[in-house]
């Protein structure tokens, strides 16, 4: 798989996750927030929470559940990026770290990917 194809597929997965979150009543306030120390796939608001969402796209869970690929090193990067985000966008909302798993066995050709949303996972 070429790098460009992987990027396009990753963006597709993030779009699927964003649609799912919107369907569940979340408002997406930022996509692909970047700072020097890391990136946050989605930032969403629901109720009193400001959710920093890591999206993991996989064909299936044969090797491991997608959320298992959010390693401690990745968690540190997301936390650091979240601190930068909060410095730029002060809020009274409670920060929370979520993971959305998108399982798409046929990539972008998957009509209805399986999506699992894990709240407050790290």
Query: Given this model, what pLDDT does residue 5 score?
Result: 77
Query: Given this model, what pLDDT does residue 2 score?
Result: 44
pTM, full prediction: 0.91
The stretches in the chain having pLDDT less than 70 are: 1-4
Positive or negative, the Cα torsion across 18, 116, 56, 4? negative
Query: Given this model, what pLDDT does residue 96 score?
Result: 98
What residues make up the domain containing 84?
A: 3-118
Query: Given this model, what pLDDT does residue 63 score?
Result: 84
CATH number of the CATH domain containing 63:
3.40.1350.10
**How far is 10 from 38, CA to CA, in rounded Å?**
16
Six-digit token pair at 75? 């968690």
Query: Given this model, what pLDDT does residue 4 score?
Result: 60
Looking at the 3D structure of the chain, how many domains does it have?
A: 1
């Amino acid at each position: 798989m070429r790098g460009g194809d992987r990027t396009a597929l990753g963006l597709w997965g993030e779009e699927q996750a964003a649609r799912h979150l919107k369907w569940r009543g979340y408002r997406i306030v930022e996509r692909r927030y970047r700072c020097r120390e890391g990136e946050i796939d989605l930032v969403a608001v629901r109720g009193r929470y400001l959710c920093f969402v890591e999206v993991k796209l996989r064909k299936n869970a044969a090797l491991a559940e997608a959320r298992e690929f959010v390693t401690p090193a990745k968690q540190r990067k997301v936390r650091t990026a979240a601190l930068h985000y909060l410095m730029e966008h002060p809020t009274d909302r409670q920060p929370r770290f979520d993971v959305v798993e998108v399982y798409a066995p046929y990539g972008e050709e998957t009509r209805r990917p399986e999506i699992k949303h894990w709240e407050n996972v790290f």
